[in-house]
Structure 1
């Protein structure tokens, strides 16, 4: 069982780390580390990871040995579970949003409700007689022990209250929203129901069975832990997906466009004077793409004195004659003119006396779209003939 909960803890910790690694703050947009929603999401997921880490039998045994108190891991785990439940409420409050005063008030109420619960768990454990160490079946073994019984019921009720509240909020809010947010709410609802049925009801049934003189311990020891791990992972996916997926798609598109600009960059990069940013390897795909766009624009400006209208017009006529549409013919002609200019500049030729004043399509708009089109045209016509000689690629210095 330790392996299952350790894997769950690792997955949750990884989710929190990925979510916290967000782009730097920009004007009008705070850093991820200063966003209440991001912070509350990371805190909730990290607390979930710590709960699973502490609930593993190996960890419980280590904590008990370290403190010298049998079953000390129980109030530690149940207190953290209550804190995790509180963090889920706070996360839902920040996610739903609203007037700042109302959000602040709801957060304070959540803390006021679960803070005493954590204290009560510790006090009840201190009053109880729990000298026999139990690593996997503490809930059922001490189900009839004074004070331990109340501690077990309290932590279960606290967790159940959050689960029910989450389910209600997800159902109501899910009717008002669409897209990824609705998908995330549905995942949270599924995780909450799975936690309620697979973990909490199993625990309740096993404890009540002990109260009535029956033995359903397997529900608590074998069924509940993996169900809790699965439910926590599904809930975390629901919280994280609406926030990470758009960024992940943006990163993927940035990486795709960055790579698609390779033919253009390898052709013109040798004349670019754009300074390379520090720690380039640590930058996100979007940041790398932005730097490459700036560097290519700088190179195109440097090559402008070598642009030859004659080369462009001959390539344009040839492209139109091949049946290309006007836009594609223009991009093909500009690619041919650029290839010729790069060849002349690489050969240390003199700039033209009357260079072209034609404005490249790639320089007209913002974004990487125009540059990607130019790069694709260069790639498709690699080795294209301009004026009777073959252009050659130039490696970046």
Structure 2
């Protein structure tokens, strides 16, 4: 059982490492801090709940079952962290968020203190590593301590389920899927862990033996809940990294064309640089290179290619992209040959600089990736294959 619990703790802990790659920046973000604190506390709960850890803690302290209030206190702290995460996730005025967080911490702080006091008052001299909840279900003070931590944990999981259901209706894509995974994990935690233990404890009160629900059923379901919650936390970030990696690759033709004139600082290299960081560096460097090449834009090239593409029946947006790709290719050739700027040079905004994000740059890169098949852009031919259209643009303006 300890191996399963330690594995769940490892998965939970690695989630926080993957979510927070830049600790200094993350510490300035309350949402990032609350997310990682809740995940780390969840990992500590699994570590503390492992029978091997319980035996070691009991031996080090010399107090039988000292691991019980330690584990239950960690569960209460984790439940509080989950609610704080939800408060920060929902957002709102900072004074209101701060008040709600302080109230939540105060309530669960009292709960942790009550767990410790009840354990101190109880008579729990027999060490139990796997069935403490059911073994001491009828023991004064221990009974109340067990019920308190179960009710406190159940409340936070049910609130998390309700909030995830509400938010999942307002968002879409990977975030909605992530919320559903978190909701499924919280539901399994509430039903599979808390409810199973409550039924086992109630059975002891009634004189029956359903200890297997607490010792055999609850721990694996808690591990499964942790796995689902971890997947829910990671999914939006993983999808964003995958899309960044795809955009980084699609920008390669454009970067290969303009990299020689870019004056942006060289990006840091290393395996630890994730796709989003690499994409950000490439995007900044490309925009810098476009500014350098702007004086070399020959609008006669652009107009010839655009008119040729329109006559060939291409949509205006595709014709504009083809014309800008041809003009940019010609500008890069002039800059590399150290030629003088053309007489028709003037101020012009590329479509890629008019839209936010990397979408415009990707379109331009794909237009470069499909060069004219017969005549070079310098000769005024339109590309034989153009990139896909996203929207109908306004007419290009030449100052």
Encode CA deviations 1:115-146: one digit per residue, 9 max, x unaligned. 23323322333344434432212222333444
Distance 1:310 1:109 in 2: 68
Change (3 A) 1:100 1:151: same
For structure 1, the 5+ residue unaligned runs are 25-30, 389-397
Distance 2:206 2:353 in 1: 79
Match for 1:351 among 334, 340, 359?
340
1:174 and 1:185 in contact (8 A); partners too: no
Task: Report deviation, 1:79.
Answer: 1.3
1:261 and 1:375 in contact (8 A); partners too: yes
2:263 and 2:289 in contact (8 A); partners too: yes
Q: Counterpart in 1 of 2:166?
A: 174
Match for 2:56 among 52, 62, 77?
62
Change (3 A) 1:51 1:323: same
Q: Secondary structure at the match of 1:78?
A: helix
Match for 2:45 among 44, 51, 57?
51
Q: Counterpart in 2 of 1:200?
A: 194
Change (3 A) 1:195 1:344: closer
Question: 1:1-397, aligned counterparts within 5 Å?
Answer: 1-21=1-21, 32-97=26-91, 100-166=94-160, 169-170=162-163, 174=166, 178-180=170-172, 190-235=184-229, 240=233, 245=236, 250-278=240-268, 285-304=275-294, 306-308=296-298, 311-312=301-302, 315-316=305-306, 318-320=308-310, 322-346=312-336, 348=337, 350-351=339-340, 354=343, 356-357=345-346, 359=348, 361-362=350-351, 365-367=354-356, 368-381=358-371, 385-386=375-376
Q: Counterpart in 2 of 1:394?
A: none
> Which segment is superposed worse, 216-225 or 351-360?
351-360
Change (3 A) 1:369 1:323: same
TM-score normalized with structure 2 length: 0.77
Encode CA deviations 1:150-194: one digit per residue, 9 max, x unaligned. 432332233334445555x539x8299622587666655544443
CA RMSD between the two structures: 3.8
1:303 and 1:345 in contact (8 A); partners too: yes
Change (3 A) 1:350 1:150: closer
1:54 and 1:77 in contact (8 A); partners too: yes
Task: Report deviation, 1:219.
Answer: 1.0
Change (3 A) 1:92 1:383: same
> Which segment is superposed worse, 299-308 or 192-201?
299-308
Change (3 A) 1:371 1:174: closer
1:60 and 1:71 in contact (8 A); partners too: yes
TM-score normalized with structure 1 length: 0.77
Q: Secondary structure at the match of 1:206?
A: helix
Change (3 A) 1:259 1:384: farther
1:143 and 1:207 in contact (8 A); partners too: yes
Task: Report deviation, 1:50.
Answer: 0.8
The number of residue pairs the alignment matches comes to 376
